Structure 1
Amino acid sequence: MNDIEAGLRRRIIELCREMNRSGLNQGTSGNISARFGDRMLLTPSATPYDAMTPEMIVSMPLDGPDGEWSGPLKPSTEWRFHRDILRNKPEAGAVVHAHPTFATTLAITRRSIPACHYMVAIFGGNDVRCCDYARYGTPELSELVLQALQGRSACLMANHGMVALGGDLDQAMWRAVELETLARQYYYSLQLDGGPVLLSEAQIADVLRSFAGYGHQSGKTGV
């Protein structure tokens, strides 16, 4: 293991712990992956983040046989959609999956998030879609997630949680946090008389143009 890979493994663990400290995730229900050459580095299954070490991070080939992996522990049960996202979106360098309260609440009701706030544009369009339901870890779920991610960098997963991707780990985590923030704002707006007033397609298109130089959204790591 070279220094670059070791650093990437450590950063995955740091962000897993941050997910739980911030309330973005609970227990070991979330998982994080990062592209490393022609392989994927992924959190292991059912392992407390505080006990996780860099050696425990699973390595999987992006184009190898299904389920092939190396490491002392089994990969997350969600390895399939992590791998398929990285396979199908070469611009993505990392994937964050979690069960945050507000995003998951909306996913339980099978709601996509519309253009209730201009920050929806950081995910690539005028909404964040909610994919249909399939059991965790299945090829069916992976296919549904990929459909919901067409032209987008995040989606909700029906009766499950959310997934966000980025050019690197930090951008993927930034988007995951922004998605939960947006979900919380949308949820509360639904409680008020009249509900949210949505932005038009033209207004979101204007925001998308302005985001060309916006922080994490800009640069060669953008998705």
Structure 2
Amino acid sequence: MTDRNHADLRQGIVDTCKEMNRNGLNQGTSGNLSHRIPSGMLITPTSLPYEHMRPDDVVAMDFAANYQGSHRPSSEWRFHRDILRARDDINVVLHTHSTFSTILAVHERGIPCFHYMVAVAGGNDIRCAPYACFGTQALSDYAVNALEGRNACLLGHHGLIVTAQTFEKALWLAVEVETLAKMYVHALAIGEPPRLSETEMAQVHEQMKRMGYGQAPDLDDVGDVPRPVPQPKLAPH
């Protein structure tokens, strides 16, 4: 394995990890983060607080589990490797023990389609994988399965995983899922909230797809169709 440095990605990992702590998504050394490189991945080191982490501390690792660096890779390297190996549509795997996502995870509950924003994770729900001990192949296998057709999942009695193409999108999705988890936990205090139907969620996915392509959402149903404002013609000089 050849480590070609990847200075920008190393700095991106450090910056994203520190932002996770600033956003309250993580604490201590509980989370981890990886980014795909041609030879495998860059991943956060084990047992090193983010506030002390430097770009040179990030570990380069290939998919055969060979690594280079002054530190050992995160104890969760297996699910980072296996997710990246299974999903060529993503580059980043972010794991955190954010509070409300973990509250649901310890009850082995996923997040259903109680709110339309659940669709940002790629499906009509956010699944919760069964429990397995941290760092094990069983945990990795469960995580890969729970992420099928999704960009986020909970890990039973553990925490949250999100996937994305960039650090920025991964951090955004982690915040969105944690917000959904917080809303769902509070909604449960009143009672199990009703679900949106498959038809309603299909409409949400279509709207998000359209907006993702840079198109405006379809507003015909509410009679609020935006139209360009005519511009006044300038008098000739």
TM-score normalised per structure 1? 0.91
Distance in structure 1 (CA, Å) of the matches to 2:211 and 2:135: 35
1:123-162 mapped onto 2 (5 Å cutoff): 123-162=121-160
Aligned match of 1:210: 207
Distance in structure 1 (CA, Å) of the matches to 2:130 and 2:44: 25
Matching residue's letter, 1:190: L
**Partner secondary structure for residue 34 of structure 1:** strand
**Partner secondary structure for residue 197 of structure 1:** coil
Aligned match of 1:177: 175
Structure 2, gaps ≥5 residues long: 215-237
**Partner secondary structure for residue 131 of structure 2:** coil
Deviates more, 1:34-43 or 1:91-100: 34-43
Task: Provide the aligned length of Structure 1 versus Structure 2.
Answer: 212
1:23 aligns with 2:33: no
Per-residue deviation, 1:213: 4.1
Q: 1:91 aligns with which of 47, 68, 89?
A: 89
Distance in structure 1 (CA, Å) of the matches to 2:37 and 2:204: 32
Aligned match of 2:195: 198
**Partner secondary structure for residue 198 of structure 1:** coil
Distance in structure 2 (CA, Å) of the matches to 1:157 and 1:199: 24
Q: Please tell me whether Structure 1 or Structure 2 has the larger radius of gyration of its CA atoms.
A: 2
Distance in structure 1 (CA, Å) of the matches to 2:211 and 2:71: 39
1:187 aligns with 2:185: yes
Per-residue deviation, 1:15: 0.9
Aligned match of 1:71: 69
Percent identity (aligned): 47
Distance in structure 2 (CA, Å) of the matches to 1:197 and 1:73: 48
Distance in structure 2 (CA, Å) of the matches to 1:60 and 1:9: 13
* CA offset digits 1:89-129 (Å, max 9, x no partner): 00011011000000000000000110011111111111000
Distance in structure 2 (CA, Å) of the matches to 1:124 and 1:140: 24
Aligned match of 1:36: 37
* CA offset digits 1:10-39 (Å, max 9, x no partner): 111111111111110111100010011232
Matching residue's letter, 2:104: L
Note the aligned Cα RMSD (angstroms): 1.5
Per-residue deviation, 1:146: 0.7
Matching residue's letter, 2:31: G
Q: Which segments of structure 1 move beyond 6 Å, counting only runs of 4 or more? A: none
